[in-house]
Structure 1
Amino acid sequence: MSAPDTFPAVMTTQQDTGRWRLYVAIYGVPASQWPEYVFDGATVPSVRDRSRALDALGYTFTASPEWGWIEDYVPGDDPAQPVSLFASAQVRKVAS
């Protein structure tokens, strides 16, 4: 369980463009209003790139910039098809 002032930062690929999208899931706020950053290109953003994106959104890591990765797929799909990858890390809002 995370502290009330921490949130999950999630990074995943956009299915339609292949670009990586990072967003901060804020509890009690509609997903359409979550802060987000879309990276240029289809290459997986480096940890430094992710840190810079979080800085631009006004967030920072709660501890080390360690990301956990999850592989997702739709059961029954063709196993030769690419899977979706999700990365997450805990962040907090930077005091202004």
Structure 2
Amino acid sequence: MAATITAQMAVSQTTGRWRLYVVLLGVPVSQWPEYDFVQGAVVPTVAERSRALNALGYTFTDGTEWEWTETSNTVDDPASPVRLIASITVREAAR
């Protein structure tokens, strides 16, 4: 069975669109597989996220669910805009 890794999704600060990316340890961030959703600020559905992961060559692992984390653009500033980051455990899809 393939090793599990983390996929995350957040709104891109440059485009304002949701971006899904697969976190590959030891690989430069610029080389992580990523997928930009075209619908803008609307949160992609679970089915849309699944299709995006499949397009990148990954799939959900059994029994996992998306977990949401809240962070801010400026740490320790309660007035700073909030950013939401979703994460889930994935594995490479069978080829």
TM-score (norm 2): 0.87
What is the SS of the residue equivalent to 2:25? Answer: coil
What is the SS of the residue equivalent to 2:48? Answer: helix
What is the SS of the residue equivalent to 1:55? Answer: helix
How many correspondences in the alignment?
A: 93
Structure 2: runs of 5+ lacking an equivalent: none
The partner residue of 2:19 within 21, 43, 47 is 21
- Please show how residues 16-95 of structure 1 align to structure 2 within 5 Å: 16-40=14-38, 41-73=40-72, 74-77=74-77, 79=79, 81-95=80-94
Structure 1: runs of 5+ lacking an equivalent: none
| Residue type of the alignment partner of 1:52 | R
Q: Where in structure 1 do 4 or more consecutive aligned residues deviate above 6 Å?
A: none
* Identity level (%): 57
TM-score (norm 1): 0.86
